[in-house]
Amino acid sequence: MAIRVQLDQMLVQRRMSLTELADRVGVTVANLSILKTGKARAVRFSTLDALCRELDCQPGDLLVHVPGPAEPVQDDPDADA
- Region of 26 on the Ramachandran plot (φ > 0 left; ψ -120 to 50 alpha; else beta): left
- Compute the 3-state secondary structure of the chain and give helix, strand, coil in percent, each to the nearest 5: 50, 5, 45
Percent share of the chain, pLDDT over 90? 77
What is d(CA 43, CA 64) in angstroms, rounded to the nearest whole number?
14
Per-residue model confidence as pLDDT tens digits over 45-74: 999 999 999 999 999 999 999 987 766 666
Which architecture, in CATH terms, is 3-65? Answer: Orthogonal Bundle (1.10)
pTM of the model as a whole: 0.80
Q: Indicate the SS3 state at residue 65.
A: strand
Residues contacting residue 10 through CB under 8 Å, at least 6 positions apart = 55, 57, 61, 62
Amino acid code (one letter) for 66 = V
**pLDDT at residue 81 greater than cutoff 80:** no
What does the domain layout of the chain look like in residue ranges? 3-65
